[in-house]
Amino acid sequence: MAVRVIPKNLCMRKMVCEYCDMKLETVKDIVILRLFGIRTCDEHVKCGIRDVEAYLHENNYVNINTVSLDHKLSPFIDMIAKPDFTFSESFNGIHEKGWKLLVDPTEFTYIIKRNMQWCIPAYLPSKGDQMYMSLINLINGDPTSNTIVDNAIKTLEKGIYIDSYNASCGLAEKPPLSDDPKLIETIMHNGVPVRCVRNM
């Protein structure tokens, strides 16, 4: 029976597929952040991607590193990721130029929705300031880039993971695997007690 798995913290969990409970050395993690996601066998990778994308859809997150090159959002990502692309922000009457996309080095750079507006992580190199900035800020005098931003907002509103969401939300939710306490043990490491997975 097809089930849905909700992403979770993968730290200290058994190396088993969360769909079929198979214990395999080859299981892989479909992650949203480091050690947060779904663990699957080869056979259930597609289910893992579907359920991770459904979770991102529900929480209004879009990972710019995993958008395919032929996706409608791709021209927007290409534009904001260019090293020389900057935008400006007015805050308390002060107009500041030179804001850039803040890229996460671990490939978890997310466009998010905040206060009903889609935003990108941004930073101002001259001051080191960081903030989530609305896509509206990227609309400037240039008609070509304005069209790209407009199209991106429409695409994000439709939901880039909508197909995965629709496929996932009709499925019964699989109860999380219970951590087997026999698999977890406390050992001393450098004089400090640490919890670890027992080698079986």
For residues 46 and 180, give the distance between their C-alpha atoms in angstroms, rounded to a whole number.
Answer: 26
Q: Which of 30, 41, 133, 148 binds Zn ion (CB under 5 A)?
A: 41
For residues 64 and 66, give the distance between their C-alpha atoms in angstroms, rounded to a whole number.
Answer: 6
Distances from the Cα of 118 to the Cα of 47, 67, 183, angstroms: 27, 16, 43
CB of 163 to Zn ion, least distance (A): 21
Answer yes or no whether residue 27 interacts with Zn ion by CB under 5 A.
no
Using the 8-state DSSP alphabet, how is residue 48 labeled? H
Answer yes or no whether residue 160 interacts with Zn ion by CB under 5 A.
no
Q: Which of 5, 13, 14, 19 binds Zn ion (CB under 5 A)?
A: 19
At 174 the three-state DSSP class reads coil
Q: Which of 10, 17, 32, 64 binds Zn ion (CB under 5 A)?
A: 17
CB of 40 to Zn ion, least distance (A): 6
Answer yes or no whether residue 15 interacts with Zn ion by CB under 5 A.
no
Answer yes or no whether residue 4 interacts with Zn ion by CB under 5 A.
no
At 101 the three-state DSSP class reads strand
| Residues within the interface to Zn ion (CB under 5 A) | 17, 19-20, 41, 44
